[in-house]
Amino acid sequence: MSKTKIAVFASGTGSNYDAVIEAAKSGVLDAEVALLVSDKPNAKVVEKAKQNQTPTFIFDPKNYDGKDAFEADIVEKLQEKEIEWVILAGYMRLIGDTLLKPFEGRIINIHPSLLPAFPGLDAIGQAFDAGVKVSGVTIHYVDEGMDTGKIIAQEAVQVEDDMTREDLQKAIQKVEHRLYPETIQQIISRGE
């Protein structure tokens, strides 16, 4: 039986891409990362994908007449690669209808807060600045809103009094890198 094909979307360093790749290599995740999609041609994750021989679709949104146009190209690439699940891992764009509709219920995202608290950009900074004692990680289905989709999994991270913002980020990423591959595997194995 062939492995479930997933695409990872990322715009930055790709630490969650690394976690997903490692989980797939070690057998924790019974899936093939068949495509990396990035809207940042110079992102570190692009180099990581090359090192792991992950096929890539790298695009610059400025070269398109809007979101519908580049999302149509993305959908075409996903269908070419027979992608079953889209895994957002630091992809810093809202997903539009062009991509949402053909993959409805099959796009998941990871967010560094306990949603619905601190949606959007810089969630770790938002939580840190608010002085919360508990932050965490949320994995959720993607809908048309900003971090508003149905929650799949959450895990809390204690914010210690002596923590810096960087300490909190490291603590959250440690949870992300374990929880995301485990949750992706649960979803795949349930065949949702």
pLDDT at residue 2, as a whole number: 79
Q: Which residues of 39-70 are buried (b: 16+ CB within 10 A; e: fewer)?
A: bbeebebbebbeebebeebebeeeeeeebeeb
Q: What domains can you pick out in the chain, each with its CATH number?
A: 4-190 (3.40.50.170)
Interval 28-63: pLDDT, tens: 999 999 999 999 999 999 999 999 999 999 999 999
User: Residues with catalytic annotation?
Assistant: 111
DSSP codes of every residue in 31-55: EEEEEEEES-TT-HHHHHHHHTT--
Q: Do residues 34 and 46 touch, judged by C-beta distance below 8 A?
A: no
- Give the pLDDT score at 88: 97
What pLDDT, on a 0 to 100 scale, did the predictor assign at position 1? 61
What tokens appear for 87 in the block? 């895994």
pLDDT of residue 192: 53
In the chain, the amino acid numbered 89 is: A
Low-confidence ranges of the chain (pLDDT < 70): 1, 191-192
Contact assessment for residue 14 and residue 44, using Cβ atoms and an 8 Å cutoff = yes
Residue 142 confidence (pLDDT): 97
